[in-house]
Structure 1
Amino acid sequence: MLKLVTNNKTYAYDPLLPDAYLLRVAAISTKCGVFSAEDIFSAQNALLVKQGVLITPEIAEILRVHRLKKPIEQSIYLEREFSASDLEQALIQVLQQDDLLTALNEHQNIIELIQNYFAYYDKFPLLKQKLSVMAFAMPDLFLRTLYCAWFSVVIAKEMRFSEEDCVDIFLAALSHDIGMLHLDIFVLEKKGQLTPDDWLHIQQHVFIGASLLRQMDAMPAAVVEAVFQHHERCDGTGYPTGAVESELSYAGKIIGLADSIIAIYHNRFKNQHMSWREVIPVIQMNAQAYFYRHDEILAIIWRRSEMPVKNVVHGDELPEFVAELLREREYLSAWYEVLKESLVSLGFTHGDRHLHSLQNVMLHVSSSVSGSGIFDEVVSQWLRTADFVKNEEDYRKIEKAHVQQQEIIFHLQRLNRMMQLYIDSNDTKPAHIKDVLINALARIKELPR
């Protein structure tokens, strides 16, 4: 069995160094026929593989130890790949299997919105190769990519974007995660907690995706820009550059919003049998991170679907659910206060850009906390004394509190990771700053759960 490795210890991307993409290609070679399109040479002009050879795991083992003369994706072809027609059918299948998209389509034939865009997909053979490999090797990621295409186009149409801009957004949605194909499988499938190095490695996918798109002749610059920006946030708390709203393109903001909707739903709500509708309060809690009117636009789109509201908690389960909610609430409140106290105590005149990024995230969390009233004693008291009359309004209030707490967990965990990355970095920093942050993380570990 081949050991999956990154192309160097720092996880920096070099298109001429074979990485996990080669190994993913080799793993699906018998399924879709992956062959060398030409003779493959090392950077030193040594012939490694002749034209027309099936890229098996054994061939990948030969290639992976060499720096190549050309990026591997430019030297292979797939006998069976996702054509424009295949992509259209895959998108329609996703629509037909999802209640929200089906309801939207019944109201406004959203299939018609994208039918003219597949010809543009056909113009980019390398994009077709990447999506084909994703479909065969990373089907879950491919499914999320299809959802991103749907939501991005629907949002763009709702915002009255031009057809040219909608095409760019469609291509960017399809392309936004192709960089993930090059990331170490051990990192992406890791069951335990990810290390700071793991997170840095995952963040590389925006650089890789943009680099791959630049290789594609006639790919619009707006698509490259959107893919590079899709993890940036309007309040400066995203990555890779910590850009703010005025520095971001509308396409980047839309892809980022669609990607966030899908991540929130699939990572946190789907397994709890919650609906797409529950994503809206989460987006509202993060108002500073997304662009103007984002929650209003989503609410309009969701309302148009006329889907019924579903309960997460039912009947006899309610008292136990609320008791756990209260325990979690106390823990999160203490966690939040430790982080807030430590980061605010450092002041804001230190001139350290990375520390400012941490503090901006803390301010973002504080805004979410104050805006949502999540830790208000009035809400806590209501939860403690609720008589569980099981009416619809009570269910909605309890479930809203649950959704808000899950969102706060997400942000506090993210801030913990960012702090650890900052502590472990080689950036020069005063010892007292490092000590404050180390002490904060230690205090959090000791909080009673």
Structure 2
Amino acid sequence: MATTPYIQHLIALPSEHQVYANARLTTRNGKLICESGLRMAVHQLEALDQAQLAIPPFAVTSIDNTLTAEELYQDFLHYLQSNTRLKQLSQTHLNHNVLKTCCTLACRYPVIKQHLTVMRSQLSDTYQQSLFCAWLSTIVMQHINKQGAEIGSMFIAGLCHDIGMLHIDPAILRSTRELTVEQWLEIKTHPQRGHRLLAQIPKLPSSIAQTALDHHELPDGTGYPNGKLANSIHEYAHFIRLLDSLFAIARKHPDCNLGDVTPMLEVSLNIKNDAVGRALIELLTPLKSPQTLVPIELMPYFTEVVKSELTHTLTCTKILHKCLLSFGFKHQHKGLHALQNAMFHIVSAIDRSSVINSAYVRFLEQTAQQQLSHYYTEIERAFIMNKEVRFQLNKLRQNLWQVVTKEHGDLSLELTDCLMALEDVPEPTTARELNDLWVMSL
């Protein structure tokens, strides 16, 4: 029998984290695994896994030197010191007494302490992402004058939203190859695994488990694991998903200021109007770079790229919109409804952007001809907003293909025609002079 992921993590813990039995552990037929209070060897942990106990391994084991509230707080400080832009935001807005209190609150729960200890040791990237989400959610909740209990719940939700990753096969998480369909499907179970774990912790606010379950759901119903629509997704989860996206950008582009990517967040918030998300943008906007992201001498090339990308977006949107409207809305096809919802959210985001439209493309032509340098920052904003819209369009395209592969008959044929029409749209051009700019690879 294969060893379950969490046991694999326990086995791989370094020597300072010895694992002990909390009770006398036996197999179902009464064979002794380990006496209460004794350190567990590898073969005993494996036997514990195979014993198929009625309660999970973390409920019958303890770990030496689990993370303390002070160590958790110091981890936050170390993480913030490593990034000058995060440090700047903390110096201006973070109340360290509140952060210390939140760390103490999280460490009151032994199951959370144990899992964070294991995550810190075995999944360091996930741990850093959890720190980022907990830290920034605390700042935003303070900014909008939320009370202590709400700040604490959001903090723990940010810290624990990916705790289910500890129950995913470590080999999959370490893989540098493209994931198979089966591997990707397993990773997509981490919200349910996290929810199941957190929901069983006595006196833990239910909002925390619900955030873990919902943080990959999307307003249009195309998220996972349950394909929920906007109003049924927990409000914390909307925000944590936004922070996850921000963390991914910050990790991929360490030279960027968080304020420079707020246009991407604006597009997401045009899809889901979220007061907490608006507060995040308000906090990050002052961190924008004081100068343009693209050197002045490269702006003529950049303006041409923006024109090309906006034209591509508008053309693809028109094709998708026409196709998905043609089916009407009285059908009972859940997958098609999800595609239509996604399309409406994208169109709404485009309409609210004020820059992704044919009139702005014409304005870019005028700007290039007259070298209107005072508009260069706005052009960068249009480019970054459009990057997020293109991401949403590509995701819609992938979901459309998934529907096609499962369907037969007229629906499949019409959607296939739509996909073929999208293939005929020329890809945006990119000047090689811009290849070294981080903003181009957003």
- TM-score, normalised via structure 2 length: 0.82
Q: 1:432 aligns with which of 388, 393, 410?
A: 410
SS in 1 for 2:294: coil
Would the aligned equivalents of 2:270 and 2:352 in 1 still touch at CA under 8 Å? no
Query: Which AA in structure 2 matches 1:221?
Result: S
Offset at residue 147 of structure 1 (A): 1.0
Which deviates further from its counterpart, 131-140 or 226-235?
226-235
Which deviates further from its counterpart, 357-366 or 99-108?
99-108
The corresponding residue for 1:371 is 352
Offset at residue 123 of structure 1 (A): 1.6
SS in 1 for 2:330: coil
Query: Which AA in structure 2 matches 1:82?
Result: L
Q: 1:110 aligns with which of 95, 98, 109?
A: 95
The corresponding residue for 1:137 is 122
Would the aligned equivalents of 2:210 and 2:234 in 1 still touch at CA under 8 Å? yes
Would the aligned equivalents of 2:258 and 2:288 in 1 still touch at CA under 8 Å? no
Determine what percentage of the aligned residue pairs are the same residue.
Answer: 23
Residue 386 and residue 306 in structure 1: after superposition, are their counterparts in 2 closer, same or farther (change >3 A)? closer
Q: 2:259 aligns with which of 277, 283, 306?
A: 277
Residue 217 and residue 434 in structure 1: after superposition, are their counterparts in 2 closer, same or farther (change >3 A)? same
Q: 2:7 aligns with which of 22, 28, 42?
A: 22
| Corresponding pairs, count | 426
Instruction: Trace 1:327-346 onto structure 2 (pairs within 5 A).
Output: 327-346=308-327
Instruction: Trace 1:389-400 onto structure 2 (pairs within 5 A).
Output: 393-400=374-381
Would the aligned equivalents of 1:36 and 1:55 in 2 still touch at CA under 8 Å? no
Would the aligned equivalents of 2:48 and 2:57 in 1 still touch at CA under 8 Å? no
The corresponding residue for 2:433 is none
Tell me, yes or no, if structure 1 residue 259 matches structure 2 residue 241. Answer: no
Would the aligned equivalents of 1:100 and 1:307 in 2 still touch at CA under 8 Å? no
Offset at residue 70 of structure 1 (A): 3.5
SS in 2 for 1:286: helix
Tell me, yes or no, if structure 1 residue 169 matches structure 2 residue 151. Answer: no
The corresponding residue for 1:357 is 338
Offset at residue 411 of structure 1 (A): 0.9
- TM-score, normalised via structure 1 length: 0.81
Residue 443 and residue 25 in structure 1: after superposition, are their counterparts in 2 closer, same or farther (change >3 A)? farther
Offset at residue 181 of structure 1 (A): 1.9
SS in 1 for 2:101: coil
Would the aligned equivalents of 2:260 and 2:287 in 1 still touch at CA under 8 Å? no
Q: Distance in 1 between matches of 2:188 and 2:355?
A: 30
The corresponding residue for 1:4 is none
Q: Distance in 2 between matches of 1:59 and 1:30?
A: 16
Instruction: Trace 1:241-252 onto structure 2 (pairs within 5 A).
Output: 241-252=226-237
Offset at residue 183 of structure 1 (A): 2.3
Tell me, yes or no, if structure 1 residue 228 matches structure 2 residue 213. Answer: yes
Q: Distance in 1 between matches of 2:421 and 2:32?
A: 57
Offset at residue 190 of structure 1 (A): 5.2
- CA distances 1:98-150 after superposition (whole Å, capped 9, x unpaired): 34443333334422222222222222111111111111111111111111111
SS in 1 for 2:349: helix
Tell me, yes or no, if structure 1 residue 119 matches structure 2 residue 104. Answer: yes
Would the aligned equivalents of 2:49 and 2:57 in 1 still touch at CA under 8 Å? no
Q: Distance in 1 between matches of 2:79 and 2:137?
A: 15
Q: Distance in 2 between matches of 1:340 and 1:397?
A: 27
Residue 390 and residue 198 in structure 1: after superposition, are their counterparts in 2 closer, same or farther (change >3 A)? farther
Q: Distance in 1 between matches of 2:269 and 2:263?
A: 10
Q: Distance in 2 between matches of 1:31 and 1:321?
A: 53
SS in 2 for 1:311: coil
SS in 2 for 1:309: coil
Q: Distance in 2 between matches of 1:195 and 1:345?
A: 34
SS in 2 for 1:102: helix
Q: 2:384 aligns with which of 403, 407, 414?
A: 403
Q: Distance in 2 between matches of 1:53 and 1:216?
A: 25
SS in 1 for 2:120: helix
The corresponding residue for 1:80 is 65
SS in 2 for 1:222: helix
Instruction: Trace 1:150-161 onto structure 2 (pairs within 5 A).
Output: 150-161=135-146
Query: Which AA in structure 1 matches 2:209?
Result: V
Q: Distance in 2 between matches of 1:420 and 1:64?
A: 40
Would the aligned equivalents of 1:318 and 1:388 in 2 still touch at CA under 8 Å? no
SS in 2 for 1:77: strand
Would the aligned equivalents of 1:40 and 1:49 in 2 still touch at CA under 8 Å? yes
- Measured on the aligned residues, the alpha-carbon RMSD in Å equals 3.4
Residue 248 and residue 69 in structure 1: after superposition, are their counterparts in 2 closer, same or farther (change >3 A)? closer
Q: Distance in 1 between matches of 2:295 and 2:384?
A: 16
Query: Which AA in structure 1 matches 2:272?
Result: Y
Offset at residue 274 of structure 1 (A): 2.4
Would the aligned equivalents of 2:258 and 2:287 in 1 still touch at CA under 8 Å? no
Residue 136 and residue 377 in structure 1: after superposition, are their counterparts in 2 closer, same or farther (change >3 A)? same
SS in 1 for 2:62: strand
Residue 22 and residue 431 in structure 1: after superposition, are their counterparts in 2 closer, same or farther (change >3 A)? farther
- CA distances 1:357-410 after superposition (whole Å, capped 9, x unpaired): 121111111112222245423333344454498886333123212212321232
Residue 39 and residue 390 in structure 1: after superposition, are their counterparts in 2 closer, same or farther (change >3 A)? farther
Would the aligned equivalents of 2:73 and 2:103 in 1 still touch at CA under 8 Å? yes
Query: Which AA in structure 2 matches 1:277?
Result: G
- CA distances 1:304-323 after superposition (whole Å, capped 9, x unpaired): x6665353221444444444
Offset at residue 91 of structure 1 (A): 1.1
Tell me, yes or no, if structure 1 residue 297 matches structure 2 residue 279. Answer: yes
SS in 2 for 1:398: helix
- Where in structure 1 are there 5+ consecutive unaligned residues? 1-6, 8-16
Offset at residue 209 of structure 1 (A): 0.7
Q: Distance in 2 between matches of 1:319 and 1:263?
A: 29
Offset at residue 260 of structure 1 (A): 3.7
